[in-house]
Structure 1
Amino acid sequence: MLVLLPPSEGKAPSGRGTPLKPESLSLPGLATAREAVLGELVELCAGDEEKAREVLGLSEGLRGEVAKNAGLRTAGARPAGEIYTGVLYDALGLASLDAAAKQRAARSLLVFSGLWGAVRVTDRIPSYRCSMGVRLPGLGALGGHWRAPMADVLPEAAGDGLVLDLRSAAYATAWKPKGEVAGRTATVRVLHAPTRKVVSHFNKATKGRIVRSLLTAGTVPSGPADLVDALRDLGHEVEAQAPERAGRPWALDVLVSEIH
């Protein structure tokens, strides 16, 4: 099983660990594309601060993120699972998983990123600010920049098992499963049951809880239909829509009665 996650907008401080070693990151087929984004981002943020803020879409209160990006090559690095924070990652609670569940997380979770493309939660990265919606002057829209290298690398990373796609729309632009891989992919929406509406906060929290429950139970669904059964067994209310034709992902709605 491969679980595709969005990053968090806010991130924990880098700390004083060993600086980034790009060659140590998972998915080495993304190395050239990563270096292109890293080089462009560092150069942008080491130059005109106002231009950098404009390109990155940063408010005055986030001015310090520019200097942080300028120092990415020498900043301390920590496991990505510690860098990413926010509602989804709080609910996922990687740090409080038992040893077996942590091993499952290391194997199955893949976090998409405007800067790194995608990383495992065990990959050591510095704290940064660069969303997938950014258009860097020399590279253009990052979603488009990542599309070709992702198409080469991600099908192999997906293996022959289930792909559980929990990414937000911006990060889904970087890679769209196709063909046989798409047929064993499931996307998930979280809806407030009484209104059938998506509410951002509990959407993220519920996705975090879904992943945690799968990791804790040691459940490895073989495909989308098996995932529906597994989630129901774990106490989630799920409505599933199988694709009308082959080569399309399943669409799952997880219904939540209370917003929390």
Structure 2
Amino acid sequence: MPGGRLTHQDRERIAEGLADGLTYTEIAARIDRPLSTVTREVGRNGGPDSYRADRAEQATRARARRQRPVHRPAPDADPGHLREGGTGPAGAGDSGPVAAGDPGAVRELEDGFTAVMVGTGLPRMSARVLATLYLTDSGSLSAAELVERLEVSPASVSKAIGQLEQQELIRRDRDPRRRRERYVIDADAWFRGWLASARQNGTLADFAQAGARTLGPGSPAGARLHDIGDFFRHVGQAMVQAAEQWQRDRAGASGARDVQLP
């Protein structure tokens, strides 16, 4: 398959494929590109219902202009005199750089991460905030830093943060040095988020089964709600069991590594 960036002609053919009702796989085959390229392209440019070739081309050019070069210290530079980002004196900033690598590739990774999260049902701005936190080496940013990096309004960031906290995908810490809150991704973020989703399934199961009792199990609607309740009860319990097994496996693997250390 050809490499390089999508051309305007590629984008026009993607738009045509969406209009024709083709799947992403069919569109990828039509333009001889990887499926992930098509998925990412459509996801970051409005989704299948709002994708427009001209608008996508303009947005891509705008993103390319906004990309900033990654500044790295010279090989003989003293890292003690540089902040984590490698561009300035210690204390100038503590958010840490976006993950090292080619800036264009990192931008593609960020866009792809966002598109995947949107595909799971996460609102786009929440997905952008989550991707930015994950691709920042420190895994920690303040609201002001998120506003600057994403070039959006403080209100948009605040709303996204609220949605991510509700799902327990991030947590907030107080920065005592600057008296401001920071939003943090840690190793257990997905574990907590998974358990929060399991609890939501349990809540839905309780509601559905209560509704079934109200309507009566002999009625079609009551029987339907009873089945829904059984399903989400089963799924919620399975999710909790899977999370607990992952935690045990993780603890066991960590212990094995500790034993091997000299």
Q: TM-score, normalised by structure 1?
A: 0.30
Question: Which is bigger in relative contact order (C-alpha 8 A, separation at least 6)?
Answer: 1
> Going by fraction, where is strand more abundant, 1 or 2?
1
Larger Rg computed on CA atoms: 2
Q: TM-score, normalised by structure 2?
A: 0.30
